[in-house]
């Protein structure tokens, strides 16, 4: 039992959920720790249905009762699924079992509500916390930012600092993203400066957020200056953020330059070609659109298929075009 448990933990931590599941299925006596480990592992690696099924199977076994750690592991899968019904079901379970306010489950629940686009519910949970931890602050700031509520996100950021909780690199990323979505350029610049003043290293994601914000605001020269600050050189993610701005504002020449840099980095995602094609299409350059599409065909690239989801009997079901 001890050896199997150790193996399961090892596979779960090393990012090998299939091996973890194999070990789990070979075990005859599974305790709560083992169930929780596999639920969290499945959720962490995007195996949403597996995480839900394990949660149900644990309860059907009749021997074990899910605890706060179980929900803390399951809720990231709920957040990823976007299923508000599943989120509310988990919340009801937590209330019935008196674990609604136990960390880290309470913060995971708040984050799930936020990612399921129910910001008022997330805010209500946050406001009920006596002393929100840094992760909770970051999550609620990000929730408001994603919904375009940049002003409220920034207000929360100021309250966070005033309460003595120190923001980390993820918090600053949430604030920069909020500024980008709300078009709060000056506040975004201020936040970017604060990172350096507070000794927090700027990473690729922070630069990408700044470039995204400046591109949305048509400040392309400033965006290029920000890119020039990157000591290790701009990554594909940063160039892609700038290409999005070019698409938004029809900057054909700059878009061609950025696409060239991306191709030089070996980026060959279908979405890159589609974005470049859209830039040409918005400018009425149909010959160039045809050239890009022909290049995609020659390289065997196809447009990435989008997916949607609906809830059937309380469970998220994904489908792609042509499934229905």
Per residue in 254-270, pLDDT (tens digit) is: 999 999 999 888 877 88
Confidence class for position 208, pLDDT limits 50, 70, 90: very high
Confidence class for position 4, pLDDT limits 50, 70, 90: confident
Mean pLDDT of 313-322: 53
Res 30: pLDDT: 87
306 has pLDDT over 70:
no
Res 324: pLDDT: 47
| Token digits of residue 305 | 């298929």
Over pLDDT 90: what percentage of the chain?
A: 71
Radius of gyration of the chain (CA): 23
Q: Which is nearest to 35 in space by CA: 3, 13, 61? A: 61
Res 166: pLDDT: 93
Mean pLDDT of 164-175: 96
**How many C-beta neighbours within 10 Å does residue 280 have?**
21
Res 11: pLDDT: 86
257 contacts: CB under 8 Å, gap ≥ 6: none
Confidence class for position 320, pLDDT limits 50, 70, 90: low
Over pLDDT 70: what percentage of the chain?
A: 93
Residue 13 gets the label, from left (phi > 0), alpha (psi -120 to 50) or beta, of: alpha
Res 323: pLDDT: 52
What CA–CA distances, in Å, run from 156 to 83, 143, 244, 266? 26, 11, 28, 40
Mean pLDDT of 106-119: 94
Res 307: pLDDT: 46
Residue 91 in contact with residue 100, Cβ under 8 Å? Answer: yes
Mean pLDDT of 89-98: 96
Q: How many angstroms separate the CA atoms of 211 and 244, rounded?
A: 10
Give the least confident one: 25-34, 118-127, 170-179, 243-252: 25-34
Res 14: pLDDT: 87
Q: What is the total residue count of the chain?
A: 324
Confidence class for position 317, pLDDT limits 50, 70, 90: low
Res 268: pLDDT: 73
Confidence class for position 309, pLDDT limits 50, 70, 90: low
Confidence class for position 142, pLDDT limits 50, 70, 90: very high
158 has pLDDT over 70:
yes
292 has pLDDT over 50:
yes
Res 154: pLDDT: 97
Confidence class for position 291, pLDDT limits 50, 70, 90: very high
CA angle 108, 83, 173 (to 5 degrees): 50
- Identify the residue with better confidence: 305 or 108: 108
Beta strands in the chain (DSSP E): 307-312, 315-320
Q: What is the mean pLDDT of the chain?
A: 90
43 contacts: CB under 8 Å, gap ≥ 6: 51, 73, 74, 75, 76, 77, 80
281 has pLDDT over 80:
yes
1 has pLDDT over 70:
no
Q: How many angstroms separate the CA atoms of 98 and 207, rounded?
A: 42
Q: How many angstroms separate the CA atoms of 109 and 229, rounded?
A: 38
């Amino acid at each position: 039992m001890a050896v199997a448990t150790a193996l399961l933990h090892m596979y779960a931590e090393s990012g090998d959920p299939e091996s973890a599941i194999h070990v789990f299925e070979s075990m005859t006596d599974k305790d709560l720790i083992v169930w929780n480990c596999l639920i969290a592992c499945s959720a962490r690696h995007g195996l949403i249905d597996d995480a839900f099924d394990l949660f149900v199977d644990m309860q059907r076994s009749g021997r074990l009762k899910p605890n706060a750690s179980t929900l803390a592991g399951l809720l990231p899968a709920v957040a990823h699924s976007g299923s508000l019904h599943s989120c509310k079901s988990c919340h009801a379970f937590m209330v019935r079992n008196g674990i609604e306010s136990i960390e880290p489950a309470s913060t995971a629940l708040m984050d799930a509500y936020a990612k399921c686009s129910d910001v008022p519910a997330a805010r209500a949970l946050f406001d009920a916390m006596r002393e929100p931890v840094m992760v909770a602050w970051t999550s609620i700031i990000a929730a408001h930012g994603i919904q375009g509520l940049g002003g409220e996100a920034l207000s929360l950021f100021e309250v966070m600092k005033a309460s003595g909780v120190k923001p980390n690199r993820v918090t600053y990323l949430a604030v920069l993203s909020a500024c980008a979505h709300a078009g709060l350029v000056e506040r975004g610049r201020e936040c970017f400066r604060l990172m350096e003043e507070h000794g927090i290293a700027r990473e690729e994601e922070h630069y990408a957020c700044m470039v995204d914000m400046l591109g949305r605001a048509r400040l392309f020269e400033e965006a290029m200056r920000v890119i020039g600050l990157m000591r290790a050189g701009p990554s594909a993610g940063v160039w892609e953020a700038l290409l999005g701005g070019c698409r938004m504002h029809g900057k054909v020449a700059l878009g061609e330059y950025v696409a060239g840099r991306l191709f030089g980095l070996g980026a060959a995602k279908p979405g890159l070609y589609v974005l470049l094609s859209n830039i040409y299409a918005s400018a009425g350059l149909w010959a160039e659109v045809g050239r890009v599409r022909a290049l995609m065909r020659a390289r065997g690239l196809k447009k990435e298929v989008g997916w949607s989801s609906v809830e059937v009997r309380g469970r998220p079901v994904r489908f792609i075009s042509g499934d229905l």
